[in-house]
C-alpha cells in the first residue's frame, strides 16, 4: 500500500486563491493523502468557501478554524498534532502545487530509504498568477550539491521553501517543530536541519507556484520579518559577513517597505550597535566604536 502523505494547509484571507490551491492538491497524481486545513482567523469568506469545496468534492478533511490570529509557526505546529502520515507536505492556500509534485518526490524517498527530505524549486507568481521569477538554489549549489555546501549556504540566506519540499515524519521529529518565537518558519527550520546527519536530496525541478501577495511578509519586507531574521541570526550565531550583509540588503533596499518600518529597523540597528560598543568599551576600554555610533546618531538627528 502507498504510504500516507499528510498535506497541511494553512490559510488566512485567501478567498481569492484557496480554491485553486485546494484543486492543486485534489488533482495530485498521488492519491493517498490526508487533508489537514487550518484557517488562521480569516475575516473574509475563506472558511465558508473551503467548507463548501470540501462538501462539493467529497473530501474528508480535518478543518481547524482559529478565532485568534497567531504566528504561522504556532498554526503549523497545531496542525501537525493532527497528522498521521509518513510524509509531510506543507502548503499555504494561495500557492499551487504542480500535479505530479508529491508523486515525483515520494518516489525518490521510497526508493532511497536513507534520504530524509527532498528539496526542489519554485516559481514566484503575483496575485494574478503572473510569473515573477524563479526561487531556486544558488549557482554554487546548482553546480554540485553536497551536505556541507548546503549547511554553509543556508546560514547566509534562505533559498528553499517548505512548500517545495517533502519531509519524512521521522525527519521532522529529529529536527523538531517550528520555533513559535518567530514569524517565519522556513529559514530557522532548514538551518536546524543542516546541523543534523539527515541526508538531503536536491532534485532541481519546479514543483510549486509560490504566490507573493501585497499582504505577505515576503513582499512587504516589514519590521516583523526583519525582527524574525535578526532573532534567527542571534539564535544560530550567524555572524558571518555575508549573512549580515545579505539580510540587511533584503530590508534596506526593499521597494515595498514603508518608511516607518525602515526607520524602526535603523533605530533597532543603532540600539544594538550602542549595546555592543558599550560592551566593547567595558572589555577593552576603547571608546572608538562608541564614538562612531554616537556621531552617526547625531548626524542623522536620532539623538
To 10 degrees, the CA torsion angle through 187, 203, 116, 153? -40
| Size (the chain), residues | 303
The β-bridge partners of 10 are 38, 92
Best-predicted range by mean pLDDT among 17-21, 267-271, 279-283, 298-302?
17-21
The β-bridge partners of 91 are 9
**What does the pLDDT average to over 230-245?**
74
More confident residue, 30 or 147: 30
- What confidence tens digit (pLDDT) does each residue in 162-174 have? 999 999 999 999 9
Sequence-separated (6 or more) residues with CB below 8 Å from residue 231? 181, 182
What grid cell was written down for 241? 559577513
Q: What is the mean pLDDT of the chain?
A: 84
Of 54-58, 143-147, 251-255, 294-298, where does mean pLDDT reach its minimum? 294-298
- What confidence tens digit (pLDDT) does each residue in 195-217 have? 999 999 999 999 999 998 765 55
Report percent pLDDT > 70 for the chain. Answer: 74
Domains in the chain: boundaries:
5-215, 218-299
The terminus-to-terminus CA distance of the chain in angstroms comes to 68
Asked if 125 contacts 24 with a C-beta cutoff of 8 angstroms, the reply is no
Q: Which CATH superfamily is domain 5-215 in?
A: Spore Coat Polysaccharide Biosynthesis Protein SpsA; Chain A (3.90.550.10)
What grid cell was written down for 8? 497541511
Rounded Cα–Cα distance for residues 114 and 206 (Å): 23
Phi, psi of 76 (to 5 degrees): -65, -45
- Judged against a pLDDT cut of 90, whether residue 58 lies above it is answered with yes
Asked if 195 contacts 151 with a C-beta cutoff of 8 angstroms, the reply is yes
- pLDDT-derived band of residue 17, with 50, 70 and 90 as boundaries? very high
What grid cell was written down for 169? 515524519
- Judged against a pLDDT cut of 90, whether residue 139 lies above it is answered with no
Q: Specify the pTM.
A: 0.81
Tell me, what's the pLDDT at 279?
A: 59
Of 52-61, 116-125, 282-291, where does mean pLDDT reach its minimum? 282-291
Tell me, what's the pLDDT at 302?
A: 42
Tell me, what's the pLDDT at 1?
A: 79
Tell me, what's the pLDDT at 249?
A: 63
**What does the pLDDT average to over 240-259?**
62
| SS3 sequence of the chain | CCCCEEEEEEECCCCCCHHHHHHHHHCCCCCCEEEEEEEECCCCCHHHHHHHHHHHCCCCEEEEEECCCCCHHHHHHHHHCCCCCCEEEEEECCCEECCCHHHHHHHHHHHCCCEEEEEEEEEEECCCCCEEEEECCCHHHHHCCCHHHHHHHHCCCCCCCCCCEEEEHHHHHHHCCCCCCCCCCHHHHHHHHHCCCCEEEEEEEEEEEEECCCCCHHHHCCHHHHHHHHHHHHHCCCCCHHHHHHHHHHHHCCCCCCHHHHHHHHHHHHHHHHHHHHHHHHHHCCCHHHHHHHHHHHHCCCC
Amino acid at each position: 500500500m502507498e504510504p500516507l502523505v499528510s498535506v497541511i494547509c494553512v490559510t488566512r484571507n485567501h478567498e481569492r486563491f484557496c480554491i485553486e490551491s485546494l484543486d492543486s492538491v485534489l488533482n495530485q497524481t498521488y492519491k493517498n493523502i490526508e487533508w489537514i486545513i487550518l484557517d488562521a482567523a480569516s475575516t473574509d469568506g475563506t472558511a465558508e468557501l473551503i467548507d463548501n469545496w470540501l462538501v462539493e468534492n467529497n473530501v474528508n478533511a480535518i478543518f481547524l478554524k482559529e478565532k485568534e490570529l497567531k504566528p504561522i509557526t504556532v498554526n503549523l505546529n497545531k496542525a501537525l498534532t493532527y497528522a498521521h502520515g509518513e510524509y509531510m507536505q506543507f502548503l499555504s492556500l494561495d500557492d499551487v502545487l504542480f500535479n505530479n509534485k508529491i508523486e515525483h518526490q515520494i518516489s525518490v524517498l521510497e526508493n532511497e530509504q536513507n534520504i530524509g527530505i527532498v528539496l526542489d524549486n519554485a516559481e514566484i507568481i503575483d496575485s494574478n498568477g503572473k510569473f515573477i521569477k524563479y526561487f531556486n538554489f544558488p549557482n554554487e549549489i546548482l553546480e554540485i550539491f553536497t551536505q556541507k555546501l548546503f549547511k554553509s549556504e543556508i546560514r547566509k540566506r534562505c533559498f528553499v521553501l517548505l512548500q517545495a519540499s517533502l519531509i519524512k515524519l521521522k525527519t521532522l521529529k529529529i529536527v523538531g517543530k517550528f520555533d513559535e518565537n518567530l514569524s517565519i518558519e522556513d529559514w530557522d527550520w532548514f538551518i536546524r536541519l543542516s546541523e543534523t546527519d539527515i541526508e538531503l536530496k536536491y532534485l532541481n525541478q519546479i514543483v510549486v507556484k509560490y504566490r507573493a501577495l501585497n499582504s505577505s511578509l515576503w513582499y512587504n519586507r516589514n519590521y516583523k520579518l526583519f525582527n524574525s531574521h535578526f532573532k534567527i541570526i542571534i539564535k544560530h550565531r550567524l555572524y558571518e559577513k555575508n549573512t549580515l550583509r545579505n539580510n540587511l540588503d533584503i530590508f534596506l533596499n526593499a521597494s515595498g517597505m514603508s518608511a516607518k518600518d525602515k526607520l524602526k529597523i535603523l533605530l533597532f540597528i543603532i540600539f544594538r550597535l550602542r549595546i555592543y560598543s558599550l560592551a566593547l568599551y567595558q572589555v577593552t576600554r576603547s571608546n572608538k566604536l562608541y564614538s562612531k555610533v554616537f556621531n552617526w546618531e547625531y548626524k542623522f538627528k536620532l539623538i
